[in-house]
Each structure stands twice: as C-alpha cells, then as structure tokens.
Amino acid sequence: MKMVKQRRPGKSLSLKEAMEQATDLCQRRKDECGSPGLVVAVSVDGQLVWTQGLGYADVENRLPCKPESVMRIASISKSITMAAVAKAMENGDLDLDKPVQAYVPQFPEKTVNGEKVTVTTRQLVSHLSGVRHYSKDYFKTKDAAKDNASSATTTAPAVPAAEKKNPSKTLAVTGEFLLEEYYIKDKLDSTESALALFKDDPLVHKPDSKFLYTTHGWTLIAAVLEGATKRKFPDLIRLLISDLGLDSTYLDENEPLIYNRSRFYVRNKNHHLENAPYVDCAYKYAGGGMLSTVTDLVHFGNAMLYSYQYREAHGSQTAQKQDSKTAPPKDINTTPQPRNAVTPTSGMHQPSSDLGSAHHSCNLPGYLKPATMQQIWQPVEKTQHSKDNLYAMGWEVMPEKRKFGFGRSQPFYVYHTGAAIGASSVLLILPTSNSGEVGKGDDSVVTPLKGVTVAIITNLIKVSLTKTALNVAKVFDQVSLD
C-alpha cells in the first residue's frame, strides 16, 4: 500500500515547485487554444517571483515571447481607467452621482419607454447605465424606435467608412467579434468624435435596472473625466501611468515606435493562423484601448491591493471594516516575515528583485484611499451576469463562498479579463486568506501587503484565461518565501 505524504497546514510549496506547476498550467492553456504566444507574471505579497514567456511574440520573425513583450490588454483598460475615476473622485473633481451632462453637456438626455431617465458615472462604471455595447440589434425593437424618435438620428448612426467591409466574415470568430465596431480602422482623434458613434442612440434599458456590459459606456466615462478635470483623457492616463511607474503601458496607437510590441493574430475560416486585421483603438482607449506587459499589470494590481489593505498609523482613523462576505478576515499575527532569495529554476525566469519595493514603501499611503478601494471592489446589486460573477466598479468580483464541509470553496478574488483583435488577457488578484493590514500597526510594526497577483496575456483573439490565472494564483498562494 502506497503511503501519501501529508503536507503541513498552510504554506506547503517551494517556489521551485510552484513555478513548475504554473508553467505546466500555462503550457496546457497555450496548447489547448493554439495561441502563438503567452506571457505570464506572478507576484506574492508584492514581490515579483516569476515570469515566463511561452511561444512567439512574432511568428514570422521567430521572436520569442518574454516578460517585456507588449500586448493589447483590451478591457483591463477599464480597471486602469477606474483608478483615474477614483482619483478624480478623491480630489473632489468628480461626483459619481451627478448626471453625466454635468460634465458632458453634449451628451443628449435620454428617455426609456417615453420616460426621462438619468445616466450617472456610478451606473457607467458598473455597466448599469443602459448605454449600448457594440451590438445595434436592439434598434429593431418597438420601444427603441419610440425612444429614438426624438433623437438627432432616427436610425443607427453610420460607422466610419473604412469599417463597412467587416473582416470578421473571413475569420473563425463568433459572438461579439462578428460586430462591425470591433474593426474600426479610422482614427477618431478625440473623445468627442468617439462619442459620436453612440451618443444619439437610445438606451438599451432603463438605468439601474439590469447589467449590460458596454465598452462604449467607458468612452462616455472618458468624456466625463475630461469635463471634470479639464484635461484630455490621454493626458490623464499618461499621468496615472507615470505616477504608478508603469513604464511599459501605453495607449494602443499604431504610429509610435513601441519597443517589444508583439504581433497580433487571428485564425481564418480554415483555422489557419493569420496576422490580425488592422484596427485603430482610439475610439475606445478608456474601455479597451491600452497596451501593457504582464509585469506592468502585476505592478498595477499590487498598487490596487496595497491601497485596499493599507491602514494608517495606530491611533489614526482607519478605513471601514471589510465585509466578511466579500473580503478575507484580518490576520491575528501581523508580524512581518523576511523574504529570502530563491535560486531560479533552469528554463524559467525568476526576477531578481521585488516589484514596487513592497517592503520599502509600506509606510507610505496607497495611490488610492482604503475606503475608496473598498468601494471599488464591493459587488454592486443587479450586476450578476453568470452563476457566480458579480461586477463592482471597473472590476469583476468573486465573493468568498463555501456552502458545506468538503464542498467547493471559492476564495474572494477580483479580476478583469480582456478580449481584443489579436489578443486576450487577464489580471487577477487573490488577497491572501486571513491577510493582515498594510502599513503601521501597533508599535509601528510594518506588514507588507498580502496576496497573489497574476497577469496573463496571449497574442490570439478570444482566449479564456481566467481559470488558468486562478489556478496559478492558488498554486502560488501555497508558497512560503521564508
């Protein structure tokens, strides 16, 4: 009879073991989806512990993927834009509950079923506004026609001329990737020109009545930010990128030289690999038009986790208590643990330094206030759009859930995925169960942030990566770096 070796409770894997398991998980996903390349990065408690590139960033020139490979992050752009929204709110420039016309007077007032309704930024950041996504099918309904009767246009507005030949007809794609507005080629060089794509369209439904995922809604958010801060959206994002030290994060512009930029790929009707069709993402910078690396995404995720867990010095006012249903409980032991170097495994890249200098910055406040992050990561009512998925503000949230003993245990985590022409992505943050507070505790004891952050990007259209990212996070959650 073979005896099973029992692991001790708590942290049970070495870094080498975790890297080997995670590499296998990522290689499996790459093999299953047939992506030319895949890049992954992982941090534990704020320290970048592993990065890996698999396959090719450029198939034709045989250039391998590497941690520095720059790819489209698609809808993870929403989470980055949400940080800009939160900063404007903290600075007193933006009120989430004011009608958007307070900041964007050129956005028409809306009616639903003949009744005047109000669209707010709070609704927009949680996909509750009723602003359409890329589909215009709802224009065919009787109610939409009635609500559109008094608008500036009585039919769906024309899309740019370059878009009229829809490349999706030659590709092996389904769902929303069949929609014309994914393939806009004309550069819409201002937020106002991007608004023209949809601003005169009727709402799909009454605001606050149901969840409807919409990237166009985030273009309206970009316009709100411009009106609130009196700065152009690209300038706001470049400032945020600079403040957070995201040195390899960019707006997805075709003209600039961006070193280490990957090629992007699709499959044709015969499932042969092709270069992705040319698109211009200027019309959706805020909701799906940014480029980044996995290491920058992990850095950004850690900045958000740090802000979420940070607490001020003992005796000062702290953020509101975490909701036990959506966040892990506080750790009893807040004594910091040393992090020692581990020898890299052959064939894998392990960074030699930590990401964001977690140990040296934990006396400093986060980019956002803890109370702000609590609000951002709090699930919003009426946003459930699958069995377990809830949306918060610019982030998907999975609440902690366990129904019975020895049943499936779902930890609390937050994430966002991205799907672009020629790329797919995920950024997932798994706060460590029973994690402590970052900052100064009693007697000025400093505790680093606690949690695992995972970023994965592929250079192929429509690849689901969330399950792989969660499994990788769970593997590294078992690692002790002592």
What is the residue whose two structure tokens read 């980055």? 80
Assigned token pair, 382: 């009426």
| Distance separating alpha carbons of residues 13 and 416, to the nearest angstrom | 27
| Distance separating alpha carbons of residues 266 and 179, to the nearest angstrom | 15
Catalytic site residue 75? yes
Closest CA to 288 of 365, 176, 407, 386: 176
Local structure of 26: helix, strand or coil: helix
**DSSP-assigned states of every residue in 353-375:** S-SS-HHHHTTSPPSS-HHHHHH
What one-letter code names the amino acid at 150?
S
Closest CA to 53 of 290, 466, 347: 347
Closest CA to 42 of 14, 65, 67: 67
Local structure of 349: helix, strand or coil: strand
**For 374, what's the count of Cα atoms within 13 Å in the CB-facing half-sphere?**
16
Assigned token pair, 157: 């507005």
Query: How many residues would you count in the chain?
Result: 482
| Distance separating alpha carbons of residues 203 and 355, to the nearest angstrom | 43
Assigned token pair, 193: 């020109």
CA angle 21, 26, 31 (to 5 degrees): 125
Assigned token pair, 390: 């809830």
| Distance separating alpha carbons of residues 313 and 303, to the nearest angstrom | 19
What is the residue whose two structure tokens read 């989470």? 79
What one-letter code names the amino acid at 332?
I
Pairing of strands 438-440, 310-311: parallel
Catalytic one among 75, 168, 248, 292? 75
Alpha-carbon dihedral angle through residues 445, 400, 455, 390, given to the nearest 10 degrees: -130
Active site residues: 75
